[in-house]
């Protein structure tokens, strides 16, 4: 079996073919939903005892809100496939709820763990939905808004890379792979 070269777009065999090769807008979107959101969840695990400062939370929220805005232009895939926007918006809401839990009591820790579980489930729903909407995402993606989502994360990482080790690694890998150009 021949290996797929990630630097060359796949052949277009049909009307709904997509180009998810490295550096393409669809790849950047998929990287955000798979690697960036997962890395954020990893960092939430590391900070579940106390949450983040308001400054960090505001930057994460800003990035997630930009990502929500990216998805508002993506139509549903037909009568059986709903739009992705509400699924991504729910993730942003759950994140705000996670960080709005204050204190370090056992109750606060339990509540953050519960919200983290909900965030994981929601990230999976985003991935499932995105897999069924690749063509729609590729053809309706606002790349400038997606860039703003990545930029907001970059601003946040600049504030405290030690607080976001997993996310910092994901963003560095994104840049190394040619994302954001």
* For range 45-66, the mean pLDDT: 88
Contact present, 101 and 112 (Cβ < 8 Å): yes
Rounded to two decimals, what is the model's pTM? 0.86
Closest CA to 37 of 178, 113, 150, 177: 150
pLDDT at 1 over 50: no
Query: pLDDT, tens digit, for every residue of 97-107?
Result: 998 998 889 99
pLDDT at 160 over 90: no
Domain ranges of the chain: 25-176
Kindly write down the DSSP assignment for every residue of 6-21, as one continuous string: TTSPPP--STT-----
Contact present, 59 and 156 (Cβ < 8 Å): yes
Query: pLDDT, tens digit, for every residue of 22-46?
Result: 889 999 999 999 999 999 999 999 9
Query: pLDDT, tens digit, for every residue of 63-75?
Result: 999 999 999 989 8
For residue 81, the cross-strand partners are 78
């Amino acid at each position: 079996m021949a290996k797929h070269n990630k630097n060359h777009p796949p052949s277009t065999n049909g009307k709904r073919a997509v180009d998810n090769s490295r550096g393409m807008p669809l790849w950047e979107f998929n990287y955000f939903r798979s690697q960036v959101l997962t890395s954020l969840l990893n960092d939430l695990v590391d900070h579940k005892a106390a949450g983040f400062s308001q400054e960090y939370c505001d930057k994460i929220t800003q990035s997630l809100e930009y990502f929500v805005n990216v998805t508002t232009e993506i139509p549903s895939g037909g009568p059986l496939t709903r739009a992705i926007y509400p699924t991504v918006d729910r993730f942003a809401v759950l994140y705000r709820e996670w960080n709005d839990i204050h204190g370090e009591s056992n109750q606060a820790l339990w509540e953050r763990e519960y919200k983290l579980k909900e965030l994981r489930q929601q990230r999976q729903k985003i991935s499932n939905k995105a897999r069924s909407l690749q063509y729609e995402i590729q053809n309706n993606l606002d790349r400038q808004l997606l860039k703003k989502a990545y930029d907001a994360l970059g601003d946040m990482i600049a504030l405290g890379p030690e607080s976001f080790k997993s996310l910092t690694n994901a963003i560095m890998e994104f840049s190394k792979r040619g994302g954001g150009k």
